[in-house]
Amino acid sequence: MIKVQSEDFNLQVEYDLLRQQSSVGAVVTFSGLVRDCNLGKKVSGLTLEHYPGMTEKSLTEIVEQAKQRWNILACRVIHRVGKLALQDQIVFVGVAALHRREAFACCEFIMDYLKTQAPFWKKECNEQGESYWVDARETDAQALGKWRDNEAAHKK
Amino acid sequence: MIKVLFFAKLRDQLGISELQLDSKNNPDVASLLNNLQQRGGGWAGALADNKLMVAVNQTISTGNPSLQDGDEVAFFPPVTGG
Instruction: Tell me the CA end-to-end span of chain A in Å, nearest whole number.
Output: 33
Reply yes or no on whether the pLDDT at A144 is more than 60.
yes
Instruction: Assign A12 a pLDDT band (cuts: 50, 70, 90).
Output: very high
* Whole-complex ipTM: 0.94
Of the candidates A57, A111, A135, the beta carbon closest to that of B82 is on A111
- Confirm if A116 and A40 have CB atoms less than 8 A apart: no
Tell me, yes or no, if A115 comes closer than 8 A to chain B by beta carbon. yes
Of the candidates A53, A79, A121, the beta carbon closest to that of B80 is on A121
How many angstroms from the chain centroid is the CA of residue A48? 13
> Which residues does chain B have within 8 Å of residue A109's beta carbon, measured at their own beta carbons?
none
Tell me, yes or no, if B17 comes closer than 8 A to chain A by beta carbon. no
Selected residues 45-84 of chain A with any CB under 8 Å from a CB in chain B: 48-51, 53-54, 57-58, 79
Between CA A83 and CA B24 the distance in angstroms is 40
Predicted local confidence at residue B50, as pLDDT: 83
pLDDT tens-digit series, residues A83-137: 999 999 999 999 999 999 999 999 999 999 999 999 999 999 999 989 999 999 8
pTM of the complete model? 0.93
Between CA A14 and CA A77 the distance in angstroms is 9
pLDDT tens-digit series, residues A30-84: 999 999 998 888 999 999 999 999 999 999 999 999 999 999 999 999 999 999 9
Between CA B4 and CA B24 the distance in angstroms is 14
Q: Tell me, what amino acid is at B33?
A: L
Tell me, yes or no, if A121 comes closer than 8 A to chain B by beta carbon. yes
Tell me, yes or no, if B46 comes closer than 8 A to chain A by beta carbon. no
Minimal C-alpha gap between A46 and chain B (Å) = 11
Hey, how many other C-beta atoms are within 10 angstroms of the C-beta on B18? 11
Reply yes or no on whether the pLDDT at A153 is more than 80.
no
Output the DSSP codes for A13-80. Answer: HHHHHHT-STT--EEEEEEEE--SEETTEE--EEEEEE-TTHHHHHHHHHHHHHHHHS-EEEEEEEEE
- Confirm if B37 and B66 have CB atoms less than 8 A apart: no
Instruction: Tell me the CA end-to-end span of chain B in Å, nearest whole number.
Output: 34
CB contact under 8 A, A120 and B80: yes
| CA distances (Å), origin B48, targets A35, A117, B35, B56, B76 | 32, 21, 12, 19, 12
| CA distances (Å), origin A100, targets A28, A72, A91, B53 | 8, 10, 21, 35
> Which residues does chain A have within 8 Å of residue B77's beta carbon, measured at their own beta carbons?
121, 133, 136
Q: B30 burial class (0-12, 13-18, 19+ CB within 10 angstroms)?
A: middle
Q: Mean per-residue pLDDT for B7-35?
A: 96
How many angstroms from the chain centroid is the CA of residue A4? 11
Predicted local confidence at residue A141, as pLDDT: 84
Instruction: Assign A24 a pLDDT band (cuts: 50, 70, 90).
Output: very high
pLDDT tens-digit series, residues B36-56: 999 998 999 999 988 999 999
Cα within 13 Å of Cα(A120), Cβ side: 29
Test mutation, A34, A93, A121, chain B, max B CBs within 10 A: A121
Q: Tell me, what amino acid is at B19?
A: L
